[in-house]
Amino acid sequence: GENVEQHPSTLSVQEGDSAVIKCTYSDSASNYFPWYKQELGKRPQLIIDIRSNVGEKKDQRIAVTLNKTAKHFSLHITETQPEDSAVYFCAARIGGSNYKLTFGKGTLLTVNP
């Protein structure tokens, strides 16, 4: 089955700096790659996703890039703010909504004011 590796497990940055979280996946058939943000005590929240026919997607301060050849995808957060502090999970899926997501182990991002 699919396996997703996520790095780093923890990341600490100064407010205003950029943060990058990287994930690799094992199954070349994966075609959907969402990112979730989970604040302490809250549910995972979908913040951005990318599909295999796209190389990059941006939404304000966050962007995701996908390299299908290398089977890795990354989350980029620019101009970080303290409210970006959370655990971020990447995931990968083969197929459409009927199929399950495989999650990475998560990255604890701390943005220091």
Partner 1 sequence: SAVISQKPSRDICQRGTSLTIQCQVDSQVTMMFWYRQQPGQSLTLIATANQGSEATYESGFVIDKFPISRPNLTFSTLTVSNMSPEDSSIYLCSVSGLAGGDEQYFGPGTRLTVT
Write down the least CB distance from residue 79 to partner 1, Å.
26
- Residues in binding contact with partner 1, number by CB under 8 A: 19
Q: List phi, psi (to 5°) of 49.
A: -145, 165
Does residue 26 interact with partner 1 by CB under 8 A?
no
Residues in 33-92 that interact with partner 1 by CB under 8 A: 34, 36, 42-46, 49, 89
Residue 45 or 81: the one with the smaller Cβ distance to partner 1 is 45
Does residue 103 interact with partner 1 by CB under 8 A?
yes
Question: Which one-letter amino acid corresponds to residue 66?
Answer: L
Q: Which letter, b or e, does each residue of 87-98 get, where b requires 16 or more Cβ atoms within 10 Å of its Cβ?
A: bbbbbbbbeeee
- Are the beta carbons of 100 and 2 closer than 8 angstroms? no
74: helix, coil or strand? Answer: strand
- Are the beta carbons of 67 and 73 closer than 8 angstroms? yes
Write down the least CB distance from residue 83 to partner 1, Å.
19
Q: Which residues bind partner 1 (CB under 8 A)?
A: 32, 34, 36, 42-46, 49, 89, 96-98, 100-101, 103-106
